[in-house]
Structure 1
Amino acid sequence: MLLRVIVSAQEIRRVSLQNIPPSVDELCTVLCNTLDLRGSFVLQYEDPDFGNELCNLTDIKDLPADKATLKVLFTFSGPLSDSTLDTASLTSQSSSRDSTEWPDPFVIPLFSHDIEFQMKVANEAYAKDGTVMVISKGVKSVILDRLADVIIKYTAYPSKDHYESIAKALVAKHPCLKEPGSGKGWYCWVFSLKFKMGNYRQKMMAAGCPEVVVNKRKKGERSSNPVKKSKKGEVHFLPEPPEGQTAVESEENRKTMLLEVQKREPNIQLLDEMMIATFSQRRKEIIGDEPLIFAVMERWPALFSERQLSAEFKRVITKNLLVSFLEGLDASMESLLELYKAGVASKRSNLSSVLQCLQQEDTNQHRRTAALLRAGAITRLIN
């Protein structure tokens, strides 16, 4: 299938697909990998039934059979925000690699034409008699390099689950790559990917990539032993500044926000856009300078609103703050309630009224309230 993909007015790409993905979500993932797209977006297509006017693509069956024109419409997906930014605006504000949620399932990208041809022949042989492909060092290196190029769009520090999802997807798409004698057929691919990403990070560190440099080994101040900083990208996520934006422009945006938050009714849309534009500068200050909380509040007062805290959490962790908090609370709820009940039984707690309310109506909302009150009481006792 041949696609004409409009990313922006200045970038219109031609994409050829061997097979049509089974769903719109998988088509979005394929376009992300093929066109190096970042951030959240929806797809629109030219509908021939309406004179080729654009319509949102919600069902993959709506696409014309052989050729189609798609438009990528980027959206701002921060929590508590219903604002939508046009393509040019978001493109100018996005960093070289945004913090993007890991795809589930992971979509294996296309390799070079010769590699794809070799694996096609090998897959046919595997389907016929179960013969696995004898992979040369050069072919394996090309496969790992291509996978590393895709992985780095999401994180420089994949987790164990990330590696396993890639290895599973790889042998599922190309069963000829299964390991003979292995129970699952993909364990060695996990180890190879780990080594490849380690070498990839070394190259990025030599090139001066901030996110990798900030996690490098350093000598301890009072010890000769090397101290390894946390590798988690969500802790030390350090994106590059938006393309074309200088440090002077970023500082001007920060000063504009300082004035805006002092207004009785600040421009929420403007603050949203400015917070995105200054994200790189803010992360470098917080990670690199490690300022005190009051210093951060003084320089970035807009950050300390419920809306912007949620949006910043989304930018760094790629998850919804409230949802993550409630999931953690639900996981610990039973333990907290057991402590709470024990405290009431021993008459060391004055929250018996909350327990009585919970006994009368044992809903999830009441259980959360009781757990939070218990945790708050323990915190007050400690302090």
Structure 2
Amino acid sequence: MEAHLKLRVIVEDDDFRRLDLPGLPETLNELHKTIREAFVIERDFHIQFMDPEFNNEFMNITTLQDIRDRGTIKLVYKPNDVNVTPSSLLSAPSTSSSPETSVSLQRSSSLSSMQSSSADSDSTIILQQSDIELRARAWPQEFPIPRFSYNVEVQLQRGNESFRETGNLLTTTPGLKSDILEKLAEEIFQYTAYPQNHQIDEVAAALIKKFPCLKEQSATGYYAWMISLKYKMANYRTKMRNIGCPEVTVNALKNKSSDECLPAKNVKKPKKAEVNFCPSHPTGETDDSLENVRRELLNDVRQRNSAPRVREKMSKTFSYRRKEVVQGNPAA
């Protein structure tokens, strides 16, 4: 473990605390547990750190290497628990509209600011998940292989038993391999629609680690699985685009200008630590209906005691504002 660490922890917007650690924890889960026990926090949360490479904007922690002595970290609570105060805090959180909230409602300036700091903006924190499932998880430190369908699990378990006894690898049929790749693609999509090469590598390595009977004759033992998984993700994105998933339809050729009408040109993907890149509208809502809600917001922020309505409407129009950020590319 590293030397003694001192961290500044933002527990709430108006609650700043100091955390002394005898050394850097071995895993992110241990860091979560330490913070939870030190400050008696019952809510589920994820941790962000102040990134000097991005003008000290807060970014989601994906590796323990992001932690620095005397650095600042921030606790961002999961949406379902936003209005609940930790048991260790006796005072209720402030509900008054801040200047940043008022400014964020101005059409052009708010959109550009949320693009650069979407993981840290108030509108991101207050999202509710009643209508659509939003991303709330960063890429895991160790990718969890999902549970496959029953018939696939039976074949893989028997393959593992045979591998341990005789060392023989499992002969995968096209149907079995397709089922495995389909389930992996579905799980990857829960984290990102456009996985990077190292993420594909991590998934393939995790698959072989759990099911060594699927190894192949290559240097890594899973090179062919990596290639197949890349193609499967491309096919899965096509499937999601056909059913109207906004995160991938934004990159469809029909949505690109004539001078950029190439599949690989100007592909719009989430930036570092950016979640809910381009979510679907809430059920029953359209661009026109959400534009009317946005206009109502401009009046609400000028009224007293309107914070609850502002939060509700900011949450409701989040997908609409993100769509304009991603598709419209508004000027700063």
Match of 1:101 in 2: 138
- Aligned mates of 1:73, 1:275 — CA distance in 2: 13
Aligned partner of 1:91 among 121, 126, 129:
129
Structure with bigger gyration radius: 1
Return structure 1 stretches of 4+ with deviation > 6 angstroms.
223-227
Cα distance in 2 for residues equivalent to 1:185 and 1:170: 11
Query: Do the aligned residues in 2 keep the contact of 1:257 with 1:271 (CA within 8 Å)?
Result: yes
Amino acid at match of 1:287: V
Cα offsets for 1:21-68 (capped at 9, x unmatched):
xx9x7xxxxxxxxxxxxxx958xxxxxxxxxxxxxxxxxxxxxxxxxx
2:280 is matched with which residue? Answer: 240
Q: Does the aligned pair in 2 maintain the 1:217–1:227 contact within 8 Å?
A: no
Per mean C-alpha deviation after superposition, the further-off stretch among 132-141 and 284-293 is: 284-293
CA contact (8 A) 1:41 1:73 kept: no
Q: Equivalent residue for 1:112?
A: 149
Q: 1:123 aligns with which of 153, 160, 164?
A: 160
| Structure 1 contact 253–274 (Cα < 8 Å) conserved | yes
Q: Distance in 1 between matches of 2:171 and 2:317?
A: 50
Shift, 1:109, TM fit: 0.8
TM-score (norm 1): 0.49
Are residue 289 (structure 1) and residue 295 (structure 2) matched? no
The alpha-carbon deviation at position 126 of structure 1 amounts to 1.4
Q: Percent identity?
A: 37
* Closer/same/farther in 2, CA of residues 170 and 270 from structure 1, 3 Å limit: farther
- For residues 1-383 of structure 1, the aligned pairs below 5 Å read 41=44, 74-76=80-82, 79=120, 90-92=128-130, 95-98=132-135, 100-179=137-216, 181-217=217-253, 221=258, 228-234=265-271, 237-247=277-287, 249-263=289-303, 267=307, 270-293=309-332
2:79 and 2:265 map into 1 onto residues whose CA distance is 41
Structure 1, unaligned runs of 5 or more: 1-22, 26-39, 43-71, 294-383
Contact 2:138/2:191 (8 A) holds in 1:
yes
**What are the superposed Cα offsets for residues 234-285 of structure 1, whole Å, 9 maximum, x if unpaired?**
4893210123445455334323421233357762x55444323211111222
Deviation at 1:233, TM superposition (A): 3.3
CA distance in 2, matches of 1:117, 1:210: 36
SS class of match (1:74) = helix
**Letter matched to residue 236 of structure 2:** Y
Amino acid at match of 2:169: V
Gaps of 5+ in 2: 1-26, 30-42, 46-77, 84-118
Amino acid at match of 2:189: I
Higher helix proportion (structure 1 or 2): 1
Larger relative contact order (C-alpha < 8 A, sep ≥ 6)? 2
Q: For 2:252, give the aligned amino acid.
A: K
| Structure 1 vs Structure 2 CA RMSD | 3.8
